[in-house]
């Protein structure tokens, strides 16, 4: 924290009385049915990133000006920032008009107000805090965040006088050729005194190329009044980049992702291929974890130390504990315990909880299941609505038949049980501790502890069938040759032995 930030917050008072996010614009250039500020990057909407950047200010009031797609934006706000107050701008008459509508909703508000465009997803809390601190330190009526950029195309230019003092913000379409050559731009982030803002906004006109009311015009009016106005460059110019079309959205997403990966790598995470690894801002990863290429970590995902994730793995809202590995898999709301092994090609659905050292292998789908310590579901299975004890093994191609077409039912598998390959476990059903099921069984009744559940037809071999019914085929020739060689007696059928194995 800089000395300025410390002094701004040391009083214990909120550094600003209100945060106002301008988010009513149409975002025409997105060419989308979704309002621009709801487009997503790095695990939050554009609007969500802006709100997160302002959050440490702990303002008593947060207003979001909504208009285009207001129902969608309001619903989103109710979810991500229920304390924020949506204020409707019925007609989108410009950013200045949006600011008027916001301040009219809080007529008694006094003190500093942060005004911020809703489409600045790379804005960081430290940048906002520094701007607010500088505004207070300088005793300004209005302070605007600026940046020197390589390509200022389309942005408002910061005009300064010979002494370096900011005198105006000029939109590109209204700028003179000399003004267009300026590379210091308006970030669309302002801190202003509420009274000064109200006064300035009451006097702006729409005498510009778009015929809109520009919030930026307030600055020139306040300068003309002799008020103190400042322009503070952002420490990282990336912070100020807006997002107006899908190309910019992709570019902002890339920058945001690079920032997240930089942070993870500094914290001791190995990122094998930053180019193909995507991590939301909300994710945490412990040190000595390896993220292999093609990994996507989304939402509330948390990964402990010493895990391996990827290649080609997507985790959404998952918890991965220390030393676990998840390879080429897709997992949603799953908890993967310490030292557990998942994949390749596993699909873990919500409610999956894998205990320490358990395993879910290739082509296995799980849902709403607890797999006990050291238990294994190694191959080709569906496991839904079940509790599996410790040290159990679920044979290949087992299906937990949890759905009767109307209702879901649970299956319980005891400790150290052995489920034979290709078992159908028709829920509700319980296989007791240490019990077995025979391969290929359709288990519809509980299997008591230690018992072998067998539920399949007895095998019958029809001797000589191929020679009689498929004469002249390669199979018949092979059978005839085998008979000649071994002179084997014809098989006439067999009985299962008492362990459910067919006799030969
Ligand atoms: C704006 C600034 C420009 C700055 C740029 C930074 C103005 C006039 N210009 O330009 O100086 O360099 O941001 O990215 O403000 N909005 C409303 N209601 C409206 C119109 C806009 O709420 O009637 C909101 C938009 O949702 C957006 C913000 O105001 O969040 C700015 O509007 P936008 O049209 O994106 O302005 P820019 O042309 O990007
Ligand atoms: Ca914009």
Strands (E), 163-257: 166-170, 184-193, 229-233
Ligand closest to CA 244: 2
Decide: 117 in ligand 1 pocket, CB within 6 A: yes
Q: What is the mean pLDDT of residues 20-25?
A: 96
Ligand 2 centre and the CA of 154: distance in Å? 9
- Quick one: pLDDT at residue 500? 45
Q: Which two tokens stand for residue 153?
A: 């195309």
Residue 499 has pLDDT above 90, yes or no: no
Query: Are 498 and 504 a contacting pair, CB within 8 Å?
Result: no
Residue 420 pLDDT exceeds 60: yes
Q: How confident is the model at residue 485 (pLDDT cuts 50, 70, 90)?
A: confident
CA of 265 to the centre of ligand 1 (A): 35
- More confident site: 9 or 122: 122
pLDDT band at 8 (very low <50, low <70, confident <90, very high): very low
Closest C-alpha to 189, from 161, 166, 216, 151? 216
Buried b or exposed e, range 327-350, using 16+ CB within 10 angstroms: bbbbbbbbbbbbbbbbbeebbbbe
In terms of C-beta distances under 8 Å and separation of at least 24 residues, what long-range contacts does 498-501 make, across chains too?
499/452, 500/438, 500/452, 500/454, 500/456, 501/438
Look at residue 496 in the predicted model and tell me its pLDDT. Answer: 45
* Ligand 1 contacts CB of residue 146 (under 6 A): no
3-state secondary structure of 112: strand
- Among residues 76, 135, 379, 409, which one is catalytic? 379
Q: What is the pLDDT of residue 13?
A: 65
Give the torsion through C-alpha atoms of 400, 404, 405, 409, to 10 deg.
-70
Q: Is residue 70 in contact with ligand 1, taking CB distance under 6 Å? A: no
Distance between CA atoms of residues 69 and 26, nearest Å: 8
| pLDDT at 488 (0 to 100) | 52
Quick check: 56 pLDDT over 70?
yes
Question: What's residue 486's pLDDT?
Answer: 79
Q: Estimate to the nearest angstrom the gap between the alpha carbon of 309 and the chain centroid.
A: 16
Q: Give the pLDDT of residue 490.
A: 53
Q: What is the mean pLDDT of residues 499-504?
A: 46
For the whole model, what pTM was predicted? Answer: 0.90
Provide the pLDDT for residue 489: 54
89 lines ligand 1 (CB under 6 A): yes
CA 120 to ligand 1: nearest atom = 14
Rounded Cα distance between 354 and 348, Å, is 10
Atom of ligand 1 nearest to the CA of 169: 11
- Give how far Cα 51 sits from Cα of 101, 121, 207, 343, 352, Å: 19, 9, 31, 38, 33
Q: What is the pLDDT of residue 487?
A: 66
Which residues are close to ligand 2, an ion, with C-beta < 5 A?
A: 119, 242
* pLDDT digit string, tens, across residues 388-409: 999 999 999 999 999 999 999 9
pLDDT at 172 > cutoff 80: yes
- pLDDT of 290-307, one tens digit each? 999 999 999 999 999 999
135 counts as catalytic: no
Q: How far apart are CA 491 and CA 494, in angstroms?
A: 8
């Amino acid at each position: 924290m800089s000395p300025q930030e410390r002094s701004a917050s040391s009083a214990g008072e909120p550094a600003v009385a209100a945060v106002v996010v301008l988010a009513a614009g149409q975002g025409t250039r997105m060419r989308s049915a979704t309002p621009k500020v709801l487009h997503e990057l790095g695990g939050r909407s554009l609007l969500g990133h802006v709100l997160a950047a302002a959050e440490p200010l702990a303002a008593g009031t947060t207003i979001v000006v909504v208009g285009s797609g207001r129902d969608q934006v309001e619903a989103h706000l109710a979810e991500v920032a229920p304390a924020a107050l949506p204020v409707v701008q019925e007609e989108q008459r410009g950013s200045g008009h949006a600011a008027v509508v916001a301040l009219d909703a809080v007529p008694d508000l006094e003190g500093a107000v942060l005004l911020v465009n809703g489409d600045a997803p790379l804005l960081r809390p430290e940048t906002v805090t520094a701007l607010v601190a500088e505004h207070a330190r300088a005793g300004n009526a209005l302070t605007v965040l600026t940046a020197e950029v390589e390509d200022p195309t389309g942005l408002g230019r910061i005009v300064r006088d010979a002494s370096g003092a900011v005198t105006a913000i000029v939109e590109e379409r209204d700028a003179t050729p000399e003004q267009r050559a300026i590379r210091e731009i308006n970030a669309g982030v302002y801190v202003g005194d509420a009274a000064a803002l109200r006064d300035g906004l009451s006097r702006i006109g729409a005498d510009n190329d778009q015929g809109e009311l520009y919030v930026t015009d307030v600055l020139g009016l306040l300068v003309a009044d002799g008020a103190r106005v400042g322009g503070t460059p952002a420490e990282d110019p990336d912070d100020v980049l807006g997002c107006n079309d899908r190309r910019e959205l992709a570019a902002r997403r890339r920058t945001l992702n690079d920032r997240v990966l930089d942070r993870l790598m500094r914290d001791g995470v190995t990122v094998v291929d930053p180019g193909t690894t995507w991590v939301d801002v909300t994710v945490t990863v412990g040190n000595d974890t390896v993220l292999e290429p093609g990994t996507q970590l989304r939402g509330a995902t948390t990964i402990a130390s010493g895990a391996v994730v990827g290649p080609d793995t997507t985790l959404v809202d998952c918890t991965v504990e220390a030393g676990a590995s998840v390879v080429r898999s897709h997992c949603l709301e799953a908890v993967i315990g310490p030292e557990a092994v998942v994949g390749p090609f596993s699909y873990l659905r919500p409610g999956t909880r894998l205990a320490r050292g358990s395993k879910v292998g290739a082509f296995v789908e799980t849902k709403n299941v607890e797999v006990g310590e050291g238990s294994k579901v190694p191959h080709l299975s569906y496991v839904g609505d079940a509790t599996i004890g410790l040290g159990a093994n679920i044979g290949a191609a087992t299906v937990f038949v949890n759905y009767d077409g109307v209702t879901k039912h649970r299956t319980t598998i005891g400790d150290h049980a052995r489920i034979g390959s290709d078992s159908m476990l028709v829920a509700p059903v319980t296989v007791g501790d240490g019990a077995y099921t025979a391969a290929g069984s359709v288990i519809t009744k509980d299997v008591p502890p230690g018992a072998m559940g067998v539920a399949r037809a007895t095998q019958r071999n029809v001797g000589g069938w191929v020679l009689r019914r498929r004469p002249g085929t390669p199979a018949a020739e092979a059978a005839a040759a085998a008979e000649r060689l071994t002179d084997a007696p014809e098989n006439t059928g067999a009985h299962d032995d008492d362990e459910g194995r067919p006799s030969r």
